[in-house]
Amino acid sequence: MTALTTFYLSQILGVQIISRESEVIGKVLDILVFSEQSSNDEPARPNVVAVKTGNRSHPVYYSFSHFEIVRQKNKIVFLCSKKQHIEEEELARFLPLKESILDQQIVDLNGRKLVRVNDVRLVSITSGTYVVAVDVGAEGLLRRLGMAETIKSIASLMHLPVPSKFILWDDVDTLDTSNLNIKLGKPLTKLQMLHPSDLADIIEDLGRNDRTEVFNNLDEEQAADVLEEMEPKLQVDLIESLSVAKAADLLEKMPADEAADIIDLLESSKAELLLNEMDSETSSEVRELLVYSNRSVGSIMSTEFISFHENETVEQALATIRQDKPEEPLLYNLFIVTHSGKLIATVSLRNLVISQPSVILKDIMRKNPVFVEDNDKLDSLAEIVSKYNLLAVPVVNQHQMLEGMVVIDDIVDDLLGARKTR
Please report, for the domain that includes residue 59, its CATH number: 2.30.30.240
Q: Are residues 219 and 172 in the same domain?
A: no
Q: Are residues 41 and 67 in the same domain?
A: yes
Structural domain contains residue 19: yes
Q: Are residues 49 and 112 in the same domain?
A: no
Structural domain contains residue 190: no
pLDDT of 388-399, one tens digit each? 888 899 999 999
Average pLDDT over residues 224-252: 92
Q: What is the dihedral of CA 19, 22, 24, 27, to 10 degrees?
A: 60
State which of 43, 64, 98 marks the end of a domain. 98
Q: Are residues 36 and 51 in the same domain?
A: yes
Q: Are residues 110 and 137 in the same domain?
A: yes
Average pLDDT over residues 359-385: 91
Q: Are residues 399 and 316 in the same domain?
A: yes
343 phi, psi to nearest 5 deg: -75, 125
Contact 261, 422 (CB under 8 A): yes
pLDDT of 23-56, one tens digit each? 999 999 999 998 765 545 555 678 999 999 998 8
Q: Is residue 131 scored above 70 in pLDDT?
A: yes
Average pLDDT over residues 5-18: 90
- The DSSP call for residue 46 is P
Q: How far apart are CA 123 and CA 133, in angstroms?
A: 10
State which of 65, 98, 131 marks the end of a domain. 98
Q: Are residues 34 and 49 in the same domain?
A: yes
- Nearest residue to 69 (alpha-carbon basis) of 78, 57, 82: 78
Up-side HSE of residue 50: CA atoms within 13 Å toward CB? 24
Query: Which runs of consecutive H residues, i.e. helices, occur in 168-255?
Result: 196-205, 208-216, 220-228, 232-241, 244-252
Q: What is the pLDDT of residue 64?
A: 94
Provide the number of structural domains found in the chain: 4
pLDDT bin (cut points 50, 70, 90) of residue 175 is very low
Task: Of 61-65, 215-219, 312-316, give the lowest mean pLDDT range.
Answer: 215-219
CA distances from 94 to 30, 125, 152, 275 (A): 12, 20, 35, 46
Average pLDDT over residues 79-93: 88
On average, the pLDDT of the chain sits at: 84
Average pLDDT over residues 262-285: 93
The domain that contains 347 carries what CATH number? 3.10.580.10
- Domain span including residue 109: 103-184
Structural domain contains residue 300: no
Q: Are residues 322 and 268 in the same domain?
A: no
CA distances from 121 to 78, 213, 382 (A): 17, 27, 53
Q: Is residue 293 scored above 80 in pLDDT?
A: yes
Q: Is residue 161 scored above 80 in pLDDT?
A: no
The domain that contains 283 carries what CATH number? 1.25.60.10
Report pTM. 0.61
Percent residues over pLDDT 90 in the chain: 43
Percent residues over pLDDT 70 in the chain: 83
Q: Is residue 237 scored above 80 in pLDDT?
A: yes
Q: Are residues 64 and 90 in the same domain?
A: yes
Contact 405, 333 (CB under 8 A): yes
Contact 120, 97 (CB under 8 A): yes
Element at 269 (helix H, strand E): helix 268-277
State which of 291, 318, 342 marks the end of a domain. 291
Q: Is residue 419 scored above 70 in pLDDT?
A: no
Q: Are residues 199 and 229 in the same domain?
A: yes
